[in-house]
Chains A and B, each alone.
Chain A
Amino acid sequence: MRADKKTKALAKQLFKLSVVNGAVSPEQVAGVLAYVEKVAPRNSLALLKLYQHAIVAELAKSHARVEHAGPLGANTLQLIAAAMTKKYSRPVTATAQANPKLLAGLRVRIGSDVYESTVSGQLATLSNAV
């Protein structure tokens, strides 16, 4: 079902209510969900999908996913989280995820930004340049 203008506007409003001090508040999200369940507005499904999309995008901005090939110490992960917190001026958490396809190095994804320092990335750049 396509969302109409009113549904889009309501989803935007609910999303704004869920963000407190630049971070998604779990209590506010719970409150929004309770409201939607109680009131059951028109196009609830489309509304919740839009709301979810916005919340996921916002959460991704505060979470750094660190893909790595080879060992990655807890200390390095903490350093990455601290660096990202400083760079984006908001609290950023970091989680590690092994990815042998990278061959060597790290790839940090936060929101729509990707910081890459991997052998596979360099090989891809080289192959594009040839």
Chain B
Amino acid sequence: MSTVVEQIEQQIAKLSSKVVKKNTGTIRAVADGVAKLDGLSDVMYNEMVQFPGGAIGIALNLEADEVGCVVLGDVSTLKEGDEVQTTGKLLSVPVGKALLGRVVDALGRPVDGKGPIDSKEFYPVEKIAPGIMVRKSVNQPLFTGIMAIDSMIPIGRGQRELIIGDRGTGKTTICIDTIINQARINKVGLASGDKNFRPVYSIYVAVGQKQSNVVRTINALEAAGALEYTVLVAAPAADNPANQYLAPFSGAAIGEWFMENGMDALIVYDDLSKHAVAYRQISLILKRPSGREAYPGDVFYLHSRLLERAARLDGKGSLTALPVIETQAGDVSAYIPTNVISITDGQIFLETDLFNQGIRPAVSVGLSVSRVGSSAQIKVTKQVGGKLKGELAQFRELAAFAQFGSDLDPKTKAQLDRGARIVELFKQPQLNPLSIEMQASVLWALQKTYFDSIEVKSIVTAANSWKDYLTSRKDALLTKIRTEAKLTDEIEAGLKAAADEWKGTFSK
């Protein structure tokens, strides 16, 4: 009996006298959210370090005699001489479906007051992007719900499409519309019971934005019923630069979980200009050498390693990235815009002039491109909108010339008239994405000259009337277009009959 008890006691003694090895250092200086540390001889690059009081830091500068570390949290309680210790862990964030419908900070902690997040898995914030062999080409569409984009600059699942433009040109609106459209498609798809349906979950990363703008975005998503399919990562302007620098990487980690687990996800980085500014701030405080526009030399690598994580994986899911860049006075040749343009698979350029003329979304057809092209379009869109980009480009060119002359030949006049109608048709109110079947129906009517006899100023009214007519009376036809995804003779006959009937009612 006593031997058994002794054995247990020995076991307890072994456990209780377990030696823990820690690697420690001391704070040499703290300023502007960055701490310089002595010691920490075993620290790894990007490793989390523990400060007294629970604050966490990330080791970003490993030098011969000191470690530069950004502090994520309250630095006011830290002082020179405080002990810091390594954790042996890379910075990780909680991932999984439990985050859907939640607003989190750059470390994945909830900030929406809805209680703790029940997440069992963690993904590292920094991760090497998938290699070539595991990738698959992008050929599945991701519908934005914006007719001008889906028909002319299609985006595919796994693509990286830049949204670029000046302040107040509708960049965020396009992103929010896309997220709302994914939610609508998800609802319809999941309700249909189709086993092959793949929902798209969205992650919206707000970097350096005003808190009021973040709240407006949350409210817009909630009102549209899209919040339940969305994760918001918020690093507003009031957050320290370290959080703003980390937020896109945290968002990417959250998105990667969906991709790795056979699901599709969309991530919006709004915006990477402010992200670059936050990184510049950190780099300057860390005394890293500065280069063009005072950005550090690795600012290209900062964005390329982030955007390379968007991919479509063979046998798994996909992560589509919509980075946003704000230009100054339409200058796309500045440092950060050119960097991100060269990294992404295309860009949607929004023009201030178009926006002010009332053409919204103010997509500049000439400067916008999707390098994935029509391989990310379904057949019905190709059938009805294949020539639109060319026609619109021709219209812009002719319109510029038409300003000088008064007499125009009938062919030129017809092209101008048609162009003006296309421009009107592409006008779309915000937070109102259109389903792909509705887009196809409208473009089909345009292709079949149903709008040619209508005054240009009445085109928007006519298009709305056509949409209302289809929604209220031809729901079965719309469902058929959605499920078949191409214009069959039967569908075309149905559309023709519907359009003839509608035309009669609209003319009256």
- Give the B-binding residues of A (Cβ under 8 A): 12, 53-54, 57, 105, 109, 111-117, 121-122, 125
Cβ–Cβ < 8 Å partners of B42 in chain A: 112-113
Taking a contact as CB atoms closer than 8 A, the residue among B17, B18, B23, B64 that contacts A113 in the complex is B23
Most buried by B among A111, A112, A115, A117: A112
B57 to chain A, nearest CB (A): 16
Task: Tell yes or no: B41 within 8 A of A by CB.
Answer: yes
The reply to whether B21 and A112 form a contact with Cβ atoms under 8 Å apart is no
Smallest Cβ-Cβ distance to B41: which chain A residue? A112
Give B28-73 interface residues, CB cut-off 8 Å to A. 38-42, 64-65
| Alpha-carbon distance A111/B25, docked complex (angstroms) | 9
CB distance from A12 to the nearest CB of B (A): 8
Q: Does B329 contact A (CB under 8 A)?
A: no
Residues of B within 8 A of A113 (CB): 21-24, 41-42
Contact between A114 and B22 (Cβ–Cβ < 8 Å)? yes
Q: Is A111 a contact of B41 with CB atoms below 8 Å?
A: yes
B19 lies within 8 A of A57 (CB):
no
Q: How many residue pairs bridge A and B at CB < 8 Å? A: 44
A112-B25, A112-B40, A113-B22 known; A57 vs B65 contact (CB < 8 Å): yes
Minimal beta-carbon separation of B274 from chain A (angstroms): 31
In the bound complex, residues from chain A placing their C-beta under 8 Å from that of B39 are 57, 111-112
Taking CB atoms, residues of chain B closer than 8 Å to A112 are: 23-25, 39-42
Minimum CB–CB distance from B89 to chain A (whole Å) comes to 14
Asked if A115 contacts B65 (CB within 8 A), the reply is no
Contacts of B19 in A (CB 8 A): 115-117
Contact A54 B25 (CB under 8 A): no
Closest beta carbon of chain B to A62's beta carbon, Å: 14
Most buried by A among B20, B39, B41: B20
List of B residues within 8 angstroms of A122 by Cβ: 16
A117 CB contact (under 8 Å) in B18, B38, B40, B41? B18
Residues of B in contact with A (beta carbons under 8 Å apart): 16-25, 38-42, 64-65, 85
Report if A117-B65 is in contact (Cβ < 8 Å); known contacts: A57-B38, A112-B40.
no
- Check A115 against B41 for contact (C-beta < 8 Å): no
Q: Give the distance in Å from the alpha carbon of A57 to the alpha carbon of B18 in the complex.
A: 28
Residues on B with C-beta less than 8 A from A105 are 17
Nearest opposing residue in chain A for B50, CB measure: A128
Across-interface contacts of A121 in B (CB, < 8 A): 20
What CA separation (Å) do A5 and B219 show in the bound complex? 53
Q: How many Å lie between the Cα of A125 and that of B87 in the bound state?
A: 13
B236 → chain A closest CB, angstroms = 29
The distance from the CB of A19 to the nearest CB of chain B, in whole angstroms, is: 14
A121 to B18, CA, bound (A): 11
Please indicate the chain A residues that have their CB under 8 angstroms from the CB of B65 in the complex.
Answer: 53-54, 57
14 further interface pairs, Cβ-Cβ under 8 Å (given A54-B65, A112-B40) = A53-B65, A105-B17, A111-B39, A111-B41, A112-B39, A112-B42, A113-B23, A113-B41, A114-B21, A114-B24, A115-B19, A116-B19, A117-B20, A122-B16
8 contacts between A and B (CB under 8 A): A12-B64, A112-B24, A112-B41, A113-B23, A113-B42, A114-B85, A115-B22, A116-B21
User: Roughly how many angstroms separate A111 CA and B64 CA in the complex, as a whole number?
Assistant: 15
Q: How far is the CA of A59 from the CA of B446 in the complex (A)?
A: 83
Of listed A54, A57, A111, A114, residue having the most chain B CB within 10 A: A114
Chain B minimum-CB-distance residue to A112: B39
Nearest Cβ on chain A to B378's Cβ, whole angstroms: 53
**Interchain nearest-CB distance for B56 vs A (Å):** 13
- Complex-state Cα separation, A109 to B20, whole angstroms: 12
4 tightest A-B CB contacts, nearest first:
A112-B39, A117-B19, A114-B22, A112-B41
Give the shortest distance, in Å, between B234 (CB) and chain A (any CB).
Answer: 27
- By a CB distance below 8 angstroms, the chain A residues around B38 are 53, 57
Query: For residue A115, which residues in chain B have a CB less than 8 angstroms away from its CB?
Result: 19-22
User: Is A117 within 8 A of B17, CB to CB?
Assistant: yes
Q: Chain A residues with Cβ under 8 A from B22's Cβ?
A: 113-116
Instruction: Please name all residues of chain A whose beta carbon is closer than 8 Å to the beta carbon of B41 when the two chains form the complex.
Output: 111-113
Q: Which A residues lie within 8 Å of B16 (CB)?
A: 122
Q: How far is the CB of A2 from chain B (nearest CB, A)?
A: 11
Instruction: List B contacts of A125 (CB < 8 A).
Output: 20
